[in-house]
Amino acid sequence: MNNNPLSPHIQIYNWHISSLVSISHRITGVINILAMCVICFWIWTLTLGNTNYDIIYNFFNSFLGKFFVISFIWSYSFQILCEIRHWFWDLGYGFELKTSKITGFLVILGSISLTIIFYTFKGILI
Amino acid sequence: MVQISLPKNSEIKKGNYYKDKTGSKNIRKVNIYRWDPATGDNPRIDTYEVDMDNCPSKVLDLLNKIKNEIDPSLAYRRSCAHGVCGSCAMNMDGKNGLACTKPHSEIKGDINIYPLPHLRVLKDLIGDLSILYKQYESVQPWLKTTKKSDGTENLQSKEDRSKLDGLYECIMCACCSTACPSYWWNGEKYLGPAVLLQAYRWIIDSRDEDRKDRLKKVADELKLYRCHTIMNCTNACPKGLNPAKAIASIKKMLATS
């Protein structure tokens, strides 16, 4: 039996919206933990005075920094919407194929809209 | 364990090309996964040119045509050809299904046919399902009751009977389990959608007296909770059933009981 080959799996299997959202849910979870570390580091630098704060301030306003901030906002929005979807699943709703496709699509669309809203109106919100 | 790439002996090589000999103008290319246990070579993809003018509508008809007219060495399971026995479950066009109920007209471009994913291949399109059958046995899929038979039927109310709808139709073709990434990575510990749907079928049966014990047995970090609601199972089921919902119902019963 050891010599028998393993049939191909992830290499050949089609992606569905549901599987795509599921794997992204996991990846954004890991990204969020890293993002938490960055935020903690930021708060820590605040305790060290103005000059240290400037380093983070300048980074967040650089091109790369902005990219990070937008990515974090998206990653959090996506995670939150996914969790809401999971709450409904835990209550036993939303398992029909059509519903799960629509909610999966809404999670993707919603996360992008939330990112745009949060980033554009960040001045007003804070 | 998550292993994205295939082991060395499973890497797929290019295989033979069977050119059409009928001279038909309506030709489709069919790529089929082949592995012969007698040679010990790596698996390969053989390509067949098939005359579609003289081929009935389903993928199974296509395979039969290839086996009868082009290459008799092709091996695959089939029996009823009406979507009842579940023998011809395979991966067609990147999705699991029954070859006998899947019309080839639904597939665009070349037709790619593989065995069910992440199984030990016995030959060509035949995968080894013995682990799945052992897991099926482990949920004790039979009615457990202490009631002595008095020669009459063990009756159920209409309402109780309707709880089995969407569960009893399962034909154990393994399309769902072999579509599940969780089952790919933890196939020996996680029971998988097919077996969990069967487990739920007996848990929810009003005539069964072993519900508590059944729930206790299945309530396990690996056996049950490896389901992350990826929904590939429900997407794949050729009978239109919903294993993801059945698994969620078990989880809900455990959380609320």
Which percentage of chain B shows pLDDT scores above 90?
93
Q: What is the pTM of this model?
A: 0.93
How does pLDDT run across B139-152, given as a tens digit for each residue? 999 999 988 878 88
Same domain, B138 and B102: no
pLDDT at A38: 85
Q: For residues B180-203, give the mean pLDDT.
A: 96
B232 vs B95: CA distance, rounded Å: 9
Q: For residues A16-37, give the mean pLDDT.
A: 95
Q: Which of residues 183-222 of B touch A (CB under 8 A)?
A: 184
| CATH number of the domain encompassing residue B173 | 1.10.1060.10
Same domain, B13 and B122: yes
- Could B232 and A13 be called an inter-chain contact, meaning their C-beta atoms sit closer than 8 Å? yes
A84 vs A21: CA distance, rounded Å: 13
What are the helix (H) ranges across chain A?
A: 17-46, 50-60, 63-90, 97-120, 122-125
A8 contacts in chain B (CB < 8 Å): 6, 10, 12, 33, 114, 117
Average pLDDT, chain A: 91
Instruction: Report angle CA A70, A76, A81 to the nearest 5 degrees.
Output: 125
Please tell me the distance in Å from A11's CA to the nearest CA on chain B: 8
Same domain, B249 and B136: yes
Please tell me the distance in Å from A15's CA to the nearest CA on chain B: 9
pLDDT at A43: 85
Token pair in block for residue B104? 């080839």
| B158/A47: higher pLDDT | B158
Please tell me the distance in Å from B12's CA to the nearest CA on chain A: 9
pLDDT at A125: 60
Inside any domain, residue B150: no
pLDDT of residue A42 exceeding 90: no
pLDDT at A15: 96
pLDDT at A44: 86
What is the number of domains present in chain B?
2
pLDDT of residue B1 exceeding 80: no
Point out which residues pair with B103 in neighbouring strands: B58
Three-state SS at B38: coil
Q: Which of A3, A14, A100 sits opposite B94 (nearest CB)?
A: A14
Same domain, B136 and B83: no
Residue-range definition of the domain harbouring residue B13: 8-127
- Could A19 and B249 be called an inter-chain contact, meaning their C-beta atoms sit closer than 8 Å? no
Q: Which of B127, B231, B252 sits opposite A18 (nearest CB)?
A: B231
Say which CATH topology domain A20-125 has. Answer: 3 helical TM bundles of succinate and fumarate reductases (1.20.1300)
Same domain, B134 and B105: no
Average pLDDT, chain B: 95
Same domain, B168 and B249: yes
Inside any domain, residue B224: yes
A19 contacts in chain B (CB < 8 Å): 181, 230-232
Contacts of A84 (CB under 8 A, 6+ apart): none
Inside any domain, residue B3: no
Same domain, B33 and B113: yes
B124 vs B49: CA distance, rounded Å: 18
Inside any domain, residue B111: yes
pLDDT of residue A91 exceeding 60: yes
Same domain, B201 and B112: no
| CATH number of the domain encompassing residue B85 | 3.10.20.30
- Three-class SS of A18-32: HHHHHHHHHHHHHHH
pLDDT at A1: 56
A4 contacts in chain B (CB < 8 Å): 35, 37, 120-122, 128
Same domain, B249 and B163: yes
pLDDT at B2: 79
How does pLDDT run across B113-126, given as a tens digit for each residue? 999 999 999 999 99
pLDDT at B104: 97
- Could B118 and A12 be called an inter-chain contact, meaning their C-beta atoms sit closer than 8 Å? no
**Nearest-by-CA chain B residue for A2:** B120
The DSSP H or E segment spanning B5 is none
- Could A8 and B33 be called an inter-chain contact, meaning their C-beta atoms sit closer than 8 Å? yes
B230 contacts in chain A (CB < 8 Å): 18-19, 22-23
On whether any CB of chain B is under 8 Å from the CB of A93, the answer is no
Inside any domain, residue B149: no
B13 vs B171: CA distance, rounded Å: 33
Same domain, B114 and B37: yes
Same domain, B161 and B194: yes
Complex-level ipTM = 0.91
* B44-51 and B27-34 strand pairing: antiparallel
Instruction: Tell me how far the alpha carbon of residue A109 is from its chain's centroid.
Output: 13
Q: For residues B227-243, give the mean pLDDT.
A: 97
Same domain, B43 and B112: yes
Q: Where are the domains of chain A?
A: 20-125
A28 vs A78: CA distance, rounded Å: 8
Please tell me the distance in Å from A108's CA to the nearest CA on chain B: 15
A89 contacts in chain B (CB < 8 Å): 229, 248
pLDDT at B40: 82
B100-136 in b/e form (b: 16+ CB < 10 A) is: bbbebeebeeebbbbbbbbbbbbbbbbbbbeebeebb
Inside any domain, residue B151: no
